[in-house]
Amino acid sequence: MNASLPDVAAQTAPLRLLIAAPRGFCAGVDRAIEIVERALQRFGAPVYVRHEIVHNRFVVDGLKAKGAIFVEELDQVPDGAPVVFSAHGVPKVVPQDATARGLDWLDATCPLVSKVHRQAERQVEAGRHILFVGHKGHPEVIGTMGQVPEGTITLVETVNDVAKLPFGTDKPLAFLTQTTLSVDDTAEIVAALRAKFPQITGPKAEDICYATSNRQEAVKAIAAECDLLLVIGAPNSSNSLRLVEVAERMGTRSRLIQRANEIDPEWLDGVNTLGLTAGASAPEVLVREVVAKIGELRPVSEETVTTAEEKMVFKLPRQLLD
């Protein structure tokens, strides 16, 4: 009979739950959601939103319930309807087309993404060709590459891509990066760019945003102690996917989930310490939902591990401040 006691103890011992901080919403996401909500208050429903305002189904569904209609392209917006551009940014032609049609439009592009847009314009004006480090097809990449004339910017996704670049050391070059990349992977690519092109110009401060960097650092602070790390985020959320990669690079199993109902109880078999974080588009209510679900499966001892304090706030567009 005594031989079974360790098994029973293992089943009833509290699961140590390490919750990373910072996590969840960043200032750019807060601002984008508030822009849609204020637009609904000002114009009334429906308000159209080009592309998902942020990459989170829970957030998008909540705004749909309030009267937002999400479309992929501007030609899906009826004449006379208000439209909001997503936090990821849009090619320059999109607001130009909206103005030409006489649409009331609001730009919810994260100010840190807009900063990269302006850097791209300045580099092209200075006669430099841009090497843009990012993921093909991501809305932020499409938006940034759409700020400058075709043929003045080249996408670089990997170190291997750097080796294939056809430019010589006499070509004026500059590099910029997507704001939601892996800090470590990007550092490797930038190092390869600088090694191949000693003449290349880079931004004065790194383009990867504070929230992306902070969330990755928070994962690094807990991953080594965890048997499993759960990341709350959407499969099309770049910053959330990078959090999974950061944990796995440290040798910790990691899974991306959108909601608590995706958790398989078997994942917790043999897990004594569980890590939890959320991408920059995931609201805190989903974190608490996951904690509650885990509590149904195992007794939980909850700890928050804080690596940085975030106090960033971005101003709303002038149209919403009148």
3-class DSSP state of 238: helix
Residue 4 has pLDDT above 50, yes or no: no
Residue 9 has pLDDT above 60, yes or no: no
Tell me: the pLDDT tens digits for 93-103?
999 999 999 99
pLDDT at 10: 47
Judge if pTM exceeds 0.75.
Answer: yes
Return residue ranges of the chain for CATH 3.40.1010.20. Answer: 9-25+210-306, 111-208
CA 269 remoteness from chain centre? 30
Binding-site members are 26, 55, 88, 110, 138, 179, 209, 237-239, 281
3-class DSSP state of 265: helix
Q: How distant, in Å, are the alpha carbons of 73, 81, 190, 212, 218 from that of 208?
A: 27, 34, 12, 7, 15
Binding-site members for isopentenyl diphosphate are 55, 88, 138, 237-239, 281
pLDDT at 281: 96
What DSSP assignment string belongs to 115-170? HHHHHHHHHHHTTPEEEEES-TT-HHHHHHHTTS-TTSEEEE-SHHHHHH----TT
Mean pLDDT over 226-253 rounds to 97
pLDDT at 130: 98
Tell me: the pLDDT tens digits for 57-75?
999 999 999 999 999 999 9
pLDDT at 12: 60
Architecture of the domain spanning 9-25+210-306: 3-Layer(aba) Sandwich (3.40)
Q: Does 289 qualify as catalytic in the annotation?
A: no
Between the two ends of the chain, the Cα-to-Cα distance in Å is 74
3-class DSSP state of 191: helix
Return residue ranges of the chain for CATH 3.40.50.11270. Answer: 27-110
Tell me: the pLDDT tens digits for 128-180?
999 999 999 999 999 999 999 999 999 999 999 999 999 999 999 999 999 99
Mean pLDDT over 26-45 rounds to 97
Q: Band the pLDDT of 11: cuts 50, 70, 90.
A: low
Mean pLDDT over 42-68 rounds to 97
Q: The dihedral of CA 81, 86, 92, 93: what is its sign?
A: negative
Mean residue pLDDT across the chain: 94
Other CB atoms within a 10 A radius of the CB of residue 288 amount to 11
Return the minimum-mean-pLDDT range out of 3-7, 46-50, 116-120. 3-7
Residue 108 has pLDDT above 90, yes or no: yes
Binding-site members for [4Fe-4S] cluster are 26, 110, 209
Which pairs from 164-169 meet CB under 8 Å and 24+ separation?
A: 165/131, 165/196, 165/197, 167/129, 167/197, 169/197, 169/198, 169/199
Q: Band the pLDDT of 207: cuts 50, 70, 90.
A: confident
Amino acid at 276: L
Q: Band the pLDDT of 194: cuts 50, 70, 90.
A: very high
Active-site residue, from 140, 206, 217, 248? 140
Return the minimum-mean-pLDDT range out of 5-9, 12-16, 224-228. 5-9
The top-level CATH class assigned to 111-208 is alpha beta
Phi, psi of 12 (to 5 degrees): -100, -10
What DSSP assignment string belongs to 51-78? S-SSS-HHHHHHHHHHTEEEESSGGGSP
CATH topology of domain 27-110: Rossmann fold (3.40.50)
Task: Please name the helix (run of DSSP H) or strand (run of DSSP E) that holds residue 2, with its range, or none.
Answer: none
